[in-house]
Amino acid sequence: MSDLVEGRWAEIFGPRYIAVTTILALGVTLFAFNAFLSSAALPSAVHELGGIEIISWATTLYLVFAIVGGAAASLFKRRLGSRYSLIGLAVIFLIGTIIAAIAADMNQVLVGRAIQGFGEGVVAALCFALIPELFPSRLVPKVFGMQAVVWAVAAFGGPAGAGALTELISWRAAFLINVPFVLIFITMVLLVVPRGEKNTEAHGFPGLRLLTIGAGTMMVALAAVATPVQAVLLLGCAALLLAAAVWLDRRSAERLMPPDAFSLGSAVGSGLWAYLLMPVAGAATAVYLIMLLQQLWDYGPTQAAITGAVMAVAWSLSSVTVANVRQRATRRILIRTGPLLLALGLILVLLGLQWTQLPVLLAGQVAIGMGFGISNGYMMLTIMEASTSAERDRTSALLPTTQSAGNALGAALAGVAANAAGYPLAVAKADVLVSIVPLFIMAAIFALLSFLAALRLAQLAKVTPLSTFAEE
């Protein structure tokens, strides 16, 4: 099993797979575009509607409900089948979009954003669940590489496009641009995605578990804007609630997650920990770097954003580069190396800021991007392959939800570390430099914890029987 049949890039864009590839790309694009939409369009909405005191909730509610929707995705798939789940939740996303676009006040915008988040959270998770169902395992690394490129383009091009629409037409147009993309998505799902088997056995609605996940995620979001003491209490309560949700799920007749989710005794559980902790670590630069470049180096918004985008470019290019790796032993090396590169990159970024050395900072950004790019795809593939065929839908759908949870938790923890170190009160550049040291040290520690989980994943993957993906 040392060598695998190599897939070619041309295959995922060839006649057999192009429609499915397009569906996945649209699903990723819609999620990325709308996650970052608030930074471009909502300031204008606030100018027209008022409600500046609640503008941050437009992003918070979107992400919280996206996590809850992602957790429920496998349930929708079992109850409705792939096709009708994707269509139904895309329609829900569309309803949320229209509510936000025609809103008469910011409260209605928030309602629309919450509905958007839930619909797109389910759609994004179901798109992940379709990967092992519709692609053979030899093409999965190519699919992940394609998604990394699409994410980078959507995450950085999306806000620019939303800003242009807001400036040239209105902020409402930035929301309504989703409409044609959703209609194209629904049409392609009708043409391509099989109905799939439905589970007619009803075991009740998992309302308590979804409420627990939602409450835990909301506490993480609130921790990002609380005082250090309040944030620690909120994060402690969030950890208890999320652990309770996993515990309840394992004892339920109709589970939302695989039975070994977040158990270090299995490849699936260890992989999910590694996959969660990497975005927790990466939040330090994702949240603060652009602002720090403007504070410390007097960069303008565009120059700071371009410097910050180096990480995304490195992520995309490295993901595409390693997508041709065929040996499982090499893939396990990449899984272990990714978190180490992430830790190294965080230290280099900190040193670059401290020394006012752009080359050092850029090297750190490249290392962070490569850390994610070389490991994330094979981490996901290994987790999917380690899952049994009966649990693959739950496992695959949980991956984007886990990543979103890592981003939310990382942002909250970064805020706690920065606030506790006095960053908000720092005025002089020397004080700012001192206050960010704990932030980057904490992030590097989480990267090393992800490395330990990745080590465990690589060890267990050697002895775990591999499940079979789509027929070759």
Provide DSSP, 213-244. Answer: HHHHHHHHHHHTTS-HHHHHHHHHHHHHHHHH
**Buried residues in 200-232 as b, exposed as e (16+ CB within 10 A):** eeeeeebeebbebbbbbbbbbbbbbebeeeebe
Pick the CATH number of 1-196 from 1.10.3210.10, 3.40.50.300, 3.40.50.620, 1.20.1250.20: 1.20.1250.20
Cα–Cα dist 467/456, whole Å: 19
Tokens of 221: 């979001």
Contact 281, 444 (CB under 8 A): yes
pLDDT tens digit at each of 472 positions of the chain: 344 445 677 788 888 888 888 888 888 777 777 766 666 677 777 778 777 666 667 777 888 888 888 888 888 888 888 888 889 999 999 999 999 889 888 888 889 988 998 998 888 888 888 887 778 877 888 887 787 777 777 666 666 666 677 777 888 888 888 888 889 888 888 888 776 666 655 556 677 888 898 888 888 878 877 777 888 899 899 999 999 988 988 888 778 888 888 899 899 999 999 999 999 999 888 878 888 998 899 988 668 877 887 888 888 888 888 877 778 889 899 999 999 999 999 999 999 999 999 999 999 999 999 999 999 888 988 898 888 877 887 888 788 888 888 888 888 888 888 888 888 888 899 999 999 999 999 999 999 999 999 999 989 877 655 555 554 4
DSSP state of 4: -
Length, in residues, of the chain:
472
Fold of 257-472: Growth Hormone; Chain: A; (1.20.1250)
pLDDT of res. 225: 72
Residue type, 430: A
Give the Å distances, CA to CA, from 135 to 85, 167, 353, 392. Answer: 19, 41, 43, 13
In this prediction, residue 469 carries a pLDDT of: 57
Ramachandran angles phi, psi of 196, nearest 5°: 75, 165
Q: What residue type is assigned to position 30 of the chain?
A: L
pTM of the model: 0.83
pLDDT of residue 372: 93
What backbone torsions phi and psi does residue 370 show, to the nearest 5 degrees? -65, -35
Q: How far apart are CA 48 and CA 443, in angstroms?
A: 38
Count Cβ atoms below 10 Å from residue 157 Cβ, excluding itself: 14
The H or E element containing residue 300 is none
Interatomic CA distance for residues 105 and 214, integer angstroms: 25
So what's the pLDDT on residue 6? Answer: 57
